[in-house]
Amino acid sequence: MNTSRRHLMLALAVSACALPAGAQDAFPSRPVALVVPFPAGGVVDVVARIVGQKMSTTLGQPVVVENKAGAGGTIGATHVARAKPDGYTILLGGSATQVFGPALYKNLRYDAKKDFAPVGQISSGPLVLVAGSKAPGTDVAQLKKYLKEQGVRAFYGSNGNGTFPHLAAELFKQANGLAAAHIPYGGGPAALTALITGDIAFSINHIPVVQGMVKSGRVRALATTGKQRSVAFPDLPTLDEAGMKGFEANAWWGLFVPAGTPPDVVGKLNHALDIALKDPAVRSALEAQGDEVAYSNPKDFGAFVQAESVKWTKVVKIADLRLD
């Protein structure tokens, strides 16, 4: 190769490197991975597939759901925290990954505050306080009276240590000065079965878990945990309405990307999320499983997550909970 040709090729290479990344490869130019840190077929997986499909239309590229379950959602979150910050790897995160994990695990392999950038909130949904066959009464006041009388002889069940039902029940206990003991089960259906048989007095569980059993009359629903009444149980009072002023415990989901992802890429993802959540079919699908659309921009979502972290870290400390 002669000298002039080498100089020309070198100049072309330098020029290509000098071009802005967006000029060479506008985002997105290939499929985007949406990491769900829980098993396929579950409630979280359903949310991801409903929203991801609609985001694909706006982005012009497939949004492919990848399930990376384990350790209360922290395995999937760790995977995203370590991914390249280019917008092609997104986390469908929530309380478990961004709030509970950091509070419960001493040796967590990611920093929820430093390793992620918020994209936007998707949804927020209350849980339901349900009573079992051995807990007398038909309202919250009667359940609290029974639990105070029983003390540590009363039990409540959850979907497992560190799950939202576990911590929501701890918040309920702390707000009412109760001493009921915790029994962790391997998922919501197992906890509800224990409720029916009378092994536990109550549970605070997700709407999809309790809905069928409440409608069949096998368990009694007493109240929901949101700020407003649930679209799934419009006739049930909130715990706030039932006398526990200010009580609120909503399960929520949102999108996160690795820290350092370019702001314009975050903006494109947020825009696609906004468009998806405005779709009536998406709203209906989320409401069918007890979730309500709660879209927010990255800044507001980040502030919300920080407030949730402060609230639930306090609950964990008071309960003296640790998972490692």
Could you give the angle at which helices 188-197 and 207-215 cross, rounded to 10 degrees? 30
Q: Residue 227 pLDDT more than 90?
A: yes
More confident residue, 71 or 149: 149
Place 16 in a pLDDT band, splitting at 50, 70 and 90. very low
* Whole-angstrom distance, CA of residue 123 vs CA of residue 95: 12
Q: So what's the pLDDT on residue 24?
A: 53
- Secondary element (H or E) of residue 11: helix 3-18
Burial 207-221 (b: 16+ CB within 10 A, else e): bbbbbebbeeebbbb
pLDDT digits (tens, 9 = 90+) for 252-263: 999 999 999 999
Mean pLDDT is lowest, of 27-31, 47-51, 60-64, 132-136, for 132-136
pLDDT digits (tens, 9 = 90+) for 89-123: 999 999 999 999 999 998 899 999 999 999 999 99
* Whole-angstrom distance, CA of residue 108 vs CA of residue 110: 6
204: helix, strand or coil: strand
DSSP class per residue in 133-150? TTS--SSHHHHHHHHHHH
Written as six digits, the tokens of 87 are 């917008």
Task: Provide the percentage of residues in the chain whose pLDDT is more than 70.
Answer: 93
If phi > 0 it is left, if psi is from -120 to 50 it is alpha, else beta; for residue 132 that is: beta
Asked if residues 278 and 106 have their Cβ atoms less than 8 Å apart, the reply is no
Q: Which amino acid is at 38?
A: F
Burial 105-134 (b: 16+ CB within 10 A, else e): beebebebeebbbbbbbbbbbbbbbbbbeb
CB neighbours of 1 closer than 8 A, spacing ≥ 6? none
Structural domains of the chain, with CATH: 31-125+250-319 (3.40.190.150), 126-224 (3.40.190.10)
Mean pLDDT is lowest, of 10-19, 72-81, 181-190, 191-200, for 10-19
